[in-house]
Amino acid sequence: MTDFRLDPRLAADTVTVLDLPLSRLLAMRGVDHPWVILVPRRPDLVELLDLAPDDRAALSAEIDRVAAALRAQTGAHKLNVGALGNVVSQLHVHVIARFRDDPAWPHPVWGRPAVRPIDAATLEAFVADLRARLA
């Protein structure tokens, strides 16, 4: 794990929730939705295909673990899970809690400006709660 470095843009856009066995879990700032990102702590990953088989299995398990916690925490109507990487190439997986009355529903949220961004105190409480659920 010595060569892992978080992409500076991901670092700037997020706060850290905690480190899972494989992935660093981040929470997005300045967005409308509870939105977290898993970044496997391995160097030089771009595609899911770049993961070693054991790490690929671990990432799927961590996605599900985070998604279950996020749904339990937020009561999300739908989870959106995606690995895109068109802008930030470092492999990262979005897990987003969606609601039928959220500002972007039913569209995807990537690339849309926030309409009612989560304020700093709400984000801090969200992160603390999610961290406790996953610790």
Residue 107 contacts its own copies per CB under 8 A: yes
Residue 64 contacts its own copies per CB under 8 A: yes
Residue 113 contacts its own copies per CB under 8 A: no
Q: Could you tell me which residues come within 8 angstroms of residue 17 by beta carbon, excluding any fewer than 6 positions away? A: 25, 26, 27, 36, 127, 130, 131, 134
Residue 47 contacts its own copies per CB under 8 A: yes
Residue from 12, 111, 121, 135 in contact with its own copies (CB under 8 A):
111
Residue 58 contacts its own copies per CB under 8 A: no
Q: Could you tell me which residues come within 8 angstroms of residue 132 by beta carbon, excluding any fewer than 6 positions away? A: none
Q: Nearest to residue 69, comparing CAs of 128, 4, 114, 7?
A: 128
Residue 72 contacts its own copies per CB under 8 A: no
Q: Is the separation of the CB atoms in 59 and 21 below 8 Å?
A: no
Residue ranges binding its own copies (CB under 8 A): 46-49, 56-57, 60, 63-64, 67-68, 71, 78-87, 89, 98, 105-108, 110-111
